[in-house]
Chains A and B, each alone.
Chain A
Amino acid sequence: MVLAKQKLLAMSGDEAVAYAVKQSKVDVVAAYPITPQTIIVEKFSEYVHDGEVDTEFICTESEHSALTACLTASATGARTFTASASAGLALMHEILYVTSGCRAPVVMAITNRALSAPINIHCDHADSMVERDACWIQIYVENSQEAYDSTIQAFRIAEHPDILLPVMVMLDAFFLSHTLENVNVLPDEAVQKFVGTRKLPFVITHENKRALFKLDPQNPMTMGPLDLYDYYFEHKRQQEEAMQKAPQVIQQIHDEYEKISGRRYGDGLIDPYRLEDAEIATICMGSTAGTVKTVVDQLRAEGVKAGVLRLRAYRPLPAQNIVDALKNVKAIAVVDRSHSFGALGSPMFHEMRHVFYDASTHPHLVNYIYGLGGRDMPPNLINEIYQDLLKIVRTNRAEKLVKFIGVRE
């Protein structure tokens, strides 16, 4: 293992993402500002202005246009990046599907922010959770260091010839986006060597020519044209195939990155903490995992066999890894910062229950919805969840399947 010499910088999560993009030799950044993402593209525009990068920076009139500009630039073979949040991501909704359907490996940072109304600029996962079916790879990070590391990895994942899907890297609004943290950064050369240049696969065009997969007047081709019931389904099946291959690619790139940085996050897909002999556990995503780990340590000191599983990849969903990591656990709380109104619990809860349906072990699974609109999740509330789990194990019965925690009655 040859570690690159790193330096420690004090940066917010947004600045850490901008720094990673600066080092990743991105050809085009198109963006529209929205709190709490703005600092990412604002900081990046400074790099452009100061001549630190030769990226083409496009100020668009909306997020819909920003993603369209990235998608079309990406279709010419360029490496592209954008960032958004909340209403901005919602406005991109249509183009999210066009981007994955055109197999454009755009990388986008999302600072997870609540959706209106009432208007709220603070953190919850509703904005990206609602886009989970758009065929974008989704990676949720715990801290700013991971936001930096994951952004660099995202370009490699997206552009991998077996994948060619766009990647979203999610960081929690304000908790990460605006909070100063010590972040280890790699030297420019090390990142540039790691990301390399974008490699394009070959496709057969309508002229029966073998051409690089990019828009090029020398080899004209049409991407994403009218595709009715006789072909659309096959193209969607291809996208699922790319998603099926994604877990292995995410892990491989995560391992390769560890070799230059010395950092890893679980197995790259899930980040288990003190789960080896755990009897009770929570499953969560994002910055809350940091607080949960602290509570787990306290409980462990008291002799309680508690653990936590943080999901890093949500799409593709690492189902088998989740089951394996929790195979000895008797009761699990799925702790979700988003909700599916009128459904039986939150989105993550549905999927975790689904994951365990065919598992050889059948732990109790309960759901806690927390922190909507940036409501804090302090250690005492997390402790309450673990106390509930202890009771479930003791009585072998869950009194209530879905609970809202931290909300005033």
Chain B
Amino acid sequence: MTSEKKGWKELPIAGVCWKPSTEYLTGDWRTYKPVRNPEKCNMCLICHIYCPDGAIPFNKETGEISFDYDHCKGCGICANECPKKAIEMVLE
């Protein structure tokens, strides 16, 4: 929680979100973190598509993918779906 908390007179009704959820750094829930082996990876981007948290951004300019460890919860879906077994889940 980085913003000052608002009182009931100021807050939008019905719990309407008044700030983006990206302020919440949920990556600290993680036990295992995904690590990519660039030698095995063929850049198919299946991990990028499957990540339920949008935590594997693809940079169109550099053509690279990376892990956003501030939001990755370590679910392991990317490692499970990777057809090249290029992602390993490593204990933090």
Contact = CB atoms under 8 A, between A and B. Distances in A.
Label chain A's interface by main secondary structure.
Answer: loop
In order of increasing CB-CB distance, the 6 nearest A-B pairs are A234-B8, A237-B8, A203-B12, A103-B14, A206-B17, A222-B17
Nearest to B23: A206
B11 interface: yes
Contacts of B13: 103, 164, 201, 203, 213, 235, 238
A101 B8 contact: no
A204 interface: yes
Nearest to B5: A230
A191 to B, nearest CB: 28
B11 A235 contact: yes
19 contacts: A103-B13, A103-B14, A203-B16, A204-B16, A205-B18, A206-B19, A213-B14, A222-B16, A223-B15, A225-B15, A225-B17, A234-B7, A234-B8, A234-B11, A235-B8, A235-B11, A237-B8, A238-B11, A241-B8
Interface residues of A, number: 24
Interface string A224-248: 1101001100110110010000000
Label chain B's interface by main secondary structure.
Answer: loop
Interface in B1-56: 1, 5-8, 11-21
B53 to A, nearest CB: 15
A222 B14 CA distance: 9
Interface of B: 1, 5-8, 11-21
A235 B17 contact: no
A205 B21 CA distance: 12
Given A230-B1, A230-B5, A234-B6, A206 B18 contact: yes
Most buried by B among A102, A203, A230: A203
Contact of B15 (A101, A164, A205): A101
Nearest to B12: A203
Given A230-B1, A230-B5, A205 B17 contact: yes
A249 interface: no
A221 interface: yes
Contacts of B11: 231, 234-235, 238
B55 to A, nearest CB: 18
A210 to B, nearest CB: 11
A207 interface: yes
A128 to B, nearest CB: 24
Contacts of A227: 15
B69 to A, nearest CB: 22
Given A230-B1, A234-B7, A237-B8, A206 B21 contact: yes
Nearest to B19: A206
B2 to A, nearest CB: 13
Contacts of B21: 206
Contacts of B1: 230
A151 B12 CA distance: 29
B81 to A, nearest CB: 27
Contacts of A224: 14-15
A235 B17 CA distance: 12
Nearest to A220: B17
A102 B12 CA distance: 11
A164 B13 CA distance: 10
A279 to B, nearest CB: 45
Contacts of A207: 20
